[in-house]
Structure 1
Amino acid sequence: MKRTFAITAIAASLLALSPAAAPQADESVQKPLGVVELFTSQGCNSCPPADLALAKFAARDDVVALGYHVDYWDYLGWQDTLGSDANTRRQYEYAEGLNRRGVYTPQAVINGRSHTNGGHYREISEMMARDKDRGLGLTVGLKFEDMGDRMRVSAEGAPTGGDKIHLVLVYFVRQADVAIDRGENAGKTISYVNAVTDYQTIGMWEGEAMTVDIPRSELAAKNADGCAVLLQKTTKGGRPGAIIGAAILPRQSS
């Protein structure tokens, strides 16, 4: 059930993957405090506080915040308009990697290493800070640039410790206001941020500095207007593990 796509699938759309000099130390190289992946549902009445917390994280410059809408609450009477089976699979894969027996909403996964209730904004912030203090945060610098007809990802060179590390692209809708007619949140209009529409592994990172060009047309193909990139270790079972680098595509200037 591992969601992995061959790099050739995007290569046909002019993706270029090549070694490059390490990005220079400047403001455009991103080493965020952490990555927050929220698993949420429009059909879950305990999720709105977590959705608000994610919006606060998304507004910060030092956090990559992503919202994965799951579909296993759809039976309660409302089909999540942003939900997908792929998002549900990612949550179950995290559960296996984190040695959990099940999943829940709202669940926030922090740096691919730990989890807690997604509505606990302060606790999540403290967890990211602790990871950084222990050297377990985002240690590899990435640079994500808007090049007009393409998006360019540059990664610094760094030791891998022999780990298998995937280069993962996560596509999302920056904001979606949804009027919910049925289910546990009936009558509410909720604003969702960075709602994931798709994600794919486009290659392996071997620890060398490199640059990847992705056609901007991929955003439209994924029904998205934003994109993030993760450098993510895999567990022994091939499940998503610790995230060691992340960056998010800046908004296009109007």
Structure 2
Amino acid sequence: MNIKRLLPLVFALAVSAFVSPSFAKAPSAQPNAKSPAPKTEKLLPFMELYTSQACPRCPKGNENFSNFAAKTDVVAITFPVDYWDFMGWHDTYAQKGFTKRQEVLNASLGRRGPYTPQVIFNGKEHCSAINDKTMSRKLEATSQKQTELSVAYDGRDLSIANNATALDIWLIEFEPGETFATPKSGQNANKTMVYHNRAKQISLAGQVSESGTYHVPCPSHCAIIFEEPDHGAVLGAITFPKTPALNTALN
């Protein structure tokens, strides 16, 4: 499903949402000289799915994304959005912050507006989650860039080495594994939808421009995204704990 927006308006509204006073209160990355030295982790490609319980193609897109992520060495997060709620069913997982992120990312990609089910790869490419082959091709096209960045994380302190450029550090709290929802009305009434690593909260932990150790506490299961400023390319992502246990719930 497509939703059209004029690019300047989308960008202005979305950016203003990300710099609002409430959003600015997110945990700030602060130097911490007493941090432990956890094991260095490999940055993985980052895939983010935008989906809605009111989108008729999304049950299949969610399923494809879940299957693709399960067999691919990536960090994959599902973001439920709210802009299709007017169609008769209010998405039970959607958050306005997820919608705003998708709008800003689409503006940076040169699109007039977002759509569902949309997968964005490392902030640089996108496609529908309906086609597995297209997802494979897009992931391969955005996984070629090498980075010297070295990171380690223990759930509280984030150590960054070999960095000499500005990076936005995003903290995403998510429900690990697969969760499910069954809309009671609307386009997907009585259809059970699967969510792979469903996002619960997203916040900008801070911006770093050099190597160091920073305080970025994780409340439960988290993904940390290393992204160029102004929603540029994603260098990679990590998760904590490293291998989250499958948590299946029926709603």
8 Å Cα contact 2:65/2:196 also seen in 1: yes
Moved over 4 A (4+): 251-254
Amino acid at match of 2:27: I
Amino acid at match of 2:151: L
1: CA distance between counterparts of 2:198 and 2:186?
A: 20
SS in 2 for 1:198: strand
Partner of residue 141, structure 1: 150
Partner of residue 128, structure 1: 139
Q: Report the RMSD for the aligned CA atoms in angstroms.
A: 2.9
The partner residue of 1:30 within 17, 42, 47 is: 42
Partner of residue 102, structure 1: 113
Partner of residue 54, structure 1: 65
Deviation at 1:19?
6.1
Amino acid at match of 1:156: A
CA distance 1:185–1:245, shift in 2 (3 Å) = same
Amino acid at match of 2:223: A
CA distance 1:60–1:73, shift in 2 (3 Å) = same
Deviation at 1:197?
1.9
Partner of residue 194, structure 1: 197
Q: Deviations over 1:210-240 (max 9, x none)?
A: 34341x5xx3xxxxx52110111123xxxx2
CA distance 1:45–1:130, shift in 2 (3 Å) = same
TM-score (norm 2): 0.78
Q: Deviations over 1:33-92 (max 9, x none)?
A: x11111100111101222112212442462010111110111111111110111111111
Residue identity (%): 27
The partner residue of 1:180 within 173, 179, 183 is: 183
Amino acid at match of 1:123: T
8 Å Cα contact 2:118/2:129 also seen in 1: yes
TM-score (norm 1): 0.77
> Greater strand share, 1 or 2?
1
Structure 2 unaligned residues grouped into runs of 5+: 1-15, 247-251
Number of aligned residues = 226
8 Å Cα contact 1:17/1:213 also seen in 2: no
CA distance 1:94–1:79, shift in 2 (3 Å) = same
Q: Deviations over 1:8-33 (max 9, x none)?
A: 7537xxx8533699x78x6x51221x
The partner residue of 2:94 within 83, 86, 89 is: 83
Deviation at 1:187?
1.3
CA distance 1:20–1:37, shift in 2 (3 Å) = farther
Partner of residue 232, structure 1: 227
Amino acid at match of 2:154: E
